[in-house]
A and B are shown apart, each in its own frame.
Chain A
């Protein structure tokens, strides 16, 4: 038997970040759960803003912060979706296809971070702005709605969207570390939500460092109670701390991803 000699048909060069990002984009948006989760997050944020707005009695308090309250449950859905972006690959075995296409694991996690982070940032900002507008529109006529031109209001709205994105990335990083869906969700919910409850009881001064407090009381506040008495971080310190959390968790995730067998 005479056999042909095979000439590789692969072009010169190398796959790049943009290829991996396109792959991850296709993967993210081809799952129905992504659409559902983001739609629920968005609707929840806007819906809660309307309810809170309509039930406002007077103009005292931080009306902007109230309108953004619906973003807090969205932290859970977006965080869990972030976990699933990673753990869903392991539970299904898809990780093997993914890593066969992209053996550079750091590049893979970077692309996932960019694609998921970018998508959630867009949804988070849209949700925060719409919640702000809807919450203002739902206020009773005698209560003047806050405007984006007032000091601190635009910052609170924008940073709330950013906070949601960072929680999503925290979920992604936890997923890369823990790899099992249920365990990773437990770590996320425990770390972001439950720990907060205990801290209030036993170690009040660190309450300001809990992710949920940062998003709700530092990032989303027009006049953050940025004093030692309430132990709440200022918006920019809160943002820095939250970024640090996401960076540490993603860094640890990348470190493990490179070292562990798939």
Chain B
């Protein structure tokens, strides 16, 4: 169970997260949706205690992240960006984390196998493709066999098989009674994975509802999402710019 209460984060004059309130319940996959720059990654970092909220707080099973006894055995996270040193092997990276939380070394081999990196565990992680790096992040999240899992854009860089694999993984974890919180841009992907949704725009809560309920509000989940976030999308392309005539040099040279 993750609970955010009045969660607020500012970066200078930008309010990245604005008095956010939500609960992520165990047993189902909860999707975390919002346009670019709406504060999803910032919220994830605050859950992990990496960024300090300016107001409010977020708790995991009633405790702040820094109060957890063995953090990796209670919360596992795949973050947006690569979170390992490129010069270290995948195995060494995981071993270091495991030892920091009293997880036995053999668990490292288990998770390397589980994410399909057993054969490349000795290789420098810096040479990994985006998809392999993502798998290493998943391995780190699973390392402590935690009851709460956070995934920030997990399908980033994964091939179709990898996408299906991570979808089944997340659903399986939730079915075991764990709390699974996953952010994504891909609404169709979230529709297949999540049962519950937290939707934000410009750092504010727009909806905290089930996928079925939100889909029923419009012709599709995607349309419902666009209606919900219409006023809060900050970085939206201007359709008028399409079809502009760049690069088609006219006869007669520059004019």
Contacts and interface: CB of A to CB of B under 8 A. Distances in A.
A206 to B, nearest CB: 38
Contacts of A139: none
B174 interface: yes
Contacts of B101: 15, 19, 101
A3 interface: yes
Interface residues of A, number: 42
Interface stretch (A89-97, A156-164, A194-202, A220-228): A89-97
A96 B86 contact: no
Nearest to A14: B69
Interface of B is mostly: loop
Contacts of B81: 93, 96
B68 interface: yes
A92 to B, nearest CB: 5
Contacts of A1: 175
A100 B72 contact: yes
B102 A5 contact: no
B72 to A, nearest CB: 5
B110 interface: no
Interface residues of B, number: 51
Contact of A97 (B66, B92, B93): B93
Contacts of A104: 66
Interface string B6-49: 00000000000000000000111000000000000000010011
A33 B87 contact: yes
Interface of A: 1, 3-15, 19-20, 22-24, 26-27, 30-33, 88-89, 92-104, 261-262
Given A3-B174, A4-B27, A6-B147, 12 more contacts: A3-B26, A4-B177, A6-B179, A8-B73, A15-B69, A15-B101, A19-B100, A27-B92, A31-B88, A94-B84, A97-B140, A103-B66
Interface of B: 26-28, 45, 48-52, 61, 65-66, 68-75, 77, 79, 81-89, 92-93, 95-97, 99-102, 140, 144-147, 174-179
